[in-house]
Structure 1
Amino acid sequence: MDDSNKIFGTIPDKMPGGEADTPELIQLGEKLYFEKRLSANNTQSCNSCHNIIGKAPGVDNLPTSPGAFGKNGVRNSPTVLNAGFHLAQFWDGRAKDLKEQAKGPILNPVEMAMPSAAEVEKKIGEISEYQDLFAKAYSDSSMKENSKISSVNMKKITYDNIVGAIAAFERTLKTQDRFDDFQKGDYKALSAEEQEGLEKFLTTGCVTCHVGPLLGGNSFRKLGQINPYENTNDKGRQDLTKNPADAFVFKVPSLRNVAITGPYFHDGKTTTLEEAVKKMAYLQLGKELSESDTKSIVTFLKTLTNKN
């Protein structure tokens, strides 16, 4: 499967941006990731929409997610697993990295609904255990590798430091699956049927968009390249860039864990993986897949499920 190795490669050992991450910073970030007091009414944490408890795939498996006060967002919550490898964050790519992404939901009135960054700092700063954790995570010794950071400022509980710690923890959230083993030379990791599904994935043209180690996450594409998508309410990147050429353009999602991260697409309106595969072939490639071809591709996609 030389083509497979050239097209996909393997997931790197570490995510970019984590060179100065320390155990203390990651520990703080993990606690903050599950911290419901980061929401206005103490009901919502990062994990509420991006569930990683047990073997959860980093999503809530809902079409769209309810926020602190019960109102739903307009887009499906993408998985947090492997997110740091993406070229940008959110469906429209409006955040350049995990740290910038983490700033959004806490202050979003529909999501965690905190009124301001200053209120977040005040609320977390009044919790004694965080005073100790921040001092350890942002001390001279733990941050000595990053000479650009002032040790005086880093000891403070600031909004920037809060989201920086969350990002550090999220950089540890990486999948490992049988396709990784296959890509590294263990060709028995996939059955004959699964390898046939991989071949069908390649020859059908799915790799027009879903390439690289994550099988996606590294480009923006118009949804409805050949045939228009049924839901035209969300203009995608056009709302961000104001460029009509970006209408219905979204980040191509990663296919890692795709079998367990439904429902699918930015609006969460597609329930099953089989339906998603058929729709993608029709919308993006102008092809109507047979049941057997659809089943074959889905068989391969299931090998991308995290085994950790």
Structure 2
Amino acid sequence: MAALAAGLALHVGVGTALAADGYHSRYAERFQALPALPPIPANNSLTAEKVELGKMLFFEPRISASGVISCATCHNPALGWSDRIPRAVGHAGQVGERNTPTVLNSGFFTAQFWDGREPDLEGQALGPIEAEVEMNMPLDQALQRIKEFEIYHEKFAEAFGGAPGEAITLANVAKALASFQRTLNTPNSPFDRYLQGDLQALSDSQKRGMAAFVDNGCTACHTGPALTDSLFHRIQVPGSSDLGRYLVTGDENDQYRFKTPTLRNVAVTYPYFNNGATATLEEATQIMAREMLGREFDEQTIKDVVAFLHSLTGEMPDVQVPALP
């Protein structure tokens, strides 16, 4: 009975504290905590074997024309799984047209790339390998390169079944890479803990920033567990002439439309926007207020919103760089 009474008292105490926190009672229901894993597609079950193989391929530089560029070159685990430069640098030092988006929590997105040209991680996986400004390796040559190593014959067979060698296909390369990327999630941020009832997880400034974020309509686009609707919105940021989604659809209404970027871990995935020309969260927040909301935020609002954005940095995945053959 004593234990039951103590448990009830604790429950009542938490409930009382939640009720006393006006921010939580008013705003928490507008958000979703980040689950440990994203949705898993029916045609690509998540297995330890696929994840391990996908990790090897993610760090494998020999599926690039130069033999020195891998997926991890631009999606560096030490740099928020991005590269922290304005625009990606790829094969032969070529500079791409767009900023490298982080792959963290990308399994929660329903559109991939800034222009949404692929709907899922399987569709996204092979594009950078053959892109001339990225890894510049024709896909059939990349497949032959993989087949040169006996360990890959074994790993593909373990992940997908069949005789060694038969499972080394482009479709399975994509599935393995996608499987690995679905494990790169960052739950348990201060904001997640706050949503789950830890009222001390956010500072007063972060709570005010959360309120400003909602009250100013930011959740219209930055919604769902990854704080993105994966839809496309028109924005012209300073220094960019990129036509965005229009280059995929050819629809003039899609000019300058880009996919809403995730705000998860945004404090560690700078610089910002499609051209990476915006260096700080303070500047990015004001640009968003001006371009998307048609207003100027005062200094205190900027400070509070930026503090809130810092609370979205979660626990980074613990990934050991694999020893490659």
Q: Give yes or no for TM over 0.5.
A: yes
Equivalent residue runs for 1:194-209 within 5 Å: 194-209=206-221
CA distance in 2, matches of 1:307, 1:126: 37
Task: Report what 1:104 is aligned to.
Answer: 127
Do residues 57 (structure 1) and 80 (structure 2) align? yes
- Tell me how large the CA RMSD over aligned residues is: 1.7
Do residues 122 (structure 1) and 133 (structure 2) align? no
CA distance in 1, matches of 2:25, 2:112: 31
Task: Report what 2:116 is aligned to.
Answer: 93
Q: CA deviation at 1:280?
A: 0.5
Task: Report what 1:274 is aligned to.
Answer: 282
For residue 245 of structure 1, the aligned residue among 253, 256, 268 is 253
Equivalent residue runs for 1:88-237 within 5 Å: 88-114=111-137, 116-139=138-161, 151=162, 155-176=166-187, 177-224=189-236, 229-237=237-245
Any conservation in 1 of the 2:76–2:83 contact (CA below 8 Å)?
yes
Pick which of 18-27 and 63-72 moved more.
18-27
Q: CA deviation at 1:13?
A: 3.1
Q: CA deviation at 1:204?
A: 2.4
- Change in 2 beyond 3 A, CA 1:95/1:188: same
Do residues 24 (structure 1) and 61 (structure 2) align? no
The amino acid across from 1:26 in the alignment is: V
Equivalent residue runs for 1:68-83 within 5 Å: 68-83=91-106
Q: CA deviation at 1:134?
A: 1.0
The amino acid across from 1:38 in the alignment is: I
CA distance in 2, matches of 1:286, 1:137: 51
Residue aligned with 2:89, SS? coil
CA distance in 2, matches of 1:100, 1:2: 40
CA distance in 2, matches of 1:278, 1:248: 19
The amino acid across from 1:170 in the alignment is: Q
Do residues 288 (structure 1) and 313 (structure 2) align? no
CA distance in 1, matches of 2:34, 2:111: 17
> 1:110-131: per-residue Cα shift (whole Å, max 9, x none)?
10000x2211111110111111
Task: Report what 1:33 is aligned to.
Answer: 58
Any conservation in 2 of the 1:64–1:77 contact (CA below 8 Å)?
yes
CA distance in 2, matches of 1:266, 1:199: 27
| Structure 1 stretches lacking a partner, 5+ long | 140-150
| Structure 2 stretches lacking a partner, 5+ long | 1-23, 317-325
Same amino acid, percent of matched pairs: 41
Question: If the length of structure 1 is used for normalisation, what is the TM-score?
Answer: 0.90
Do residues 4 (structure 1) and 27 (structure 2) align? yes
Q: CA deviation at 1:64?
A: 0.5
Q: CA deviation at 1:18?
A: 5.2
